[in-house]
Amino acid sequence: MSWLLEALGALGAGERIIMGATLVFVAFYLFKAVKIGKVVGDLFTSAAGYAIVVAVGAGLAIALGWVDPNVGAATSQLGTAANAVWNVVGEWVVEQTLGRITKLAT
C-alpha cells in the first residue's frame, strides 16, 4: 500500500486525496464488518430463541410427569450419544486431517 501512496504523491496527488481515499477504504471495511456482525448476532438470537423453547418444553414435560428428571440417566445417555457421534464423525475428521497433512508434507 505504501508504494501506492508514494506513486500518488509523485503524481502530485495532494494529501487530502490520499487521506480521503484511505477513509473511503476504512469505511468500506467497517461496513463489511458490521454486516458480518449482524449475521453473527442474528445467529445467536435464533439460537437463544430455540434454547428458550427447548427449556420451556422440557420444563412443561417434567412438570406434567411425562419425563423423569433422572440426572444420572441423562448424563449417561449424553455420554453414549457423544461417543456415537465421535465414532461416526470423529474418525473421519482425523483421517481427513492426517491425509491433508501428509499431502502437504510431500
Summarised one tens digit per residue, pLDDT across range 47-96 is 899 999 999 998 888 888 887 777 787 788 888 988 888 888 887 888 88
Statement to judge: residues 47 and 86 lie in one domain? no
Statement to judge: residues 80 and 55 lie in one domain? no
Quick one: which of 87, 63, 93 has its CA closest to 55? 63
Please state the domain count of the chain: 2
Q: How many CB atoms lie within 10 A of CB 13?
A: 13
Vertex 48 angle, CA 45 and 54, to 5°: 145
pLDDT score, position 12: 67
Q: What is the pTM of this model?
A: 0.43
Question: Domain residues for 102?
Answer: 71-106
For 13, the 3-state DSSP assignment is coil
Q: How many CB atoms lie within 10 A of CB 17?
A: 13
Statement to judge: residues 64 and 21 lie in one domain? yes
Statement to judge: residues 34 and 79 lie in one domain? no
Vertex 51 angle, CA 50 and 56, to 5°: 100
Statement to judge: residues 14 and 44 lie in one domain? yes
Statement to judge: residues 22 and 63 lie in one domain? yes
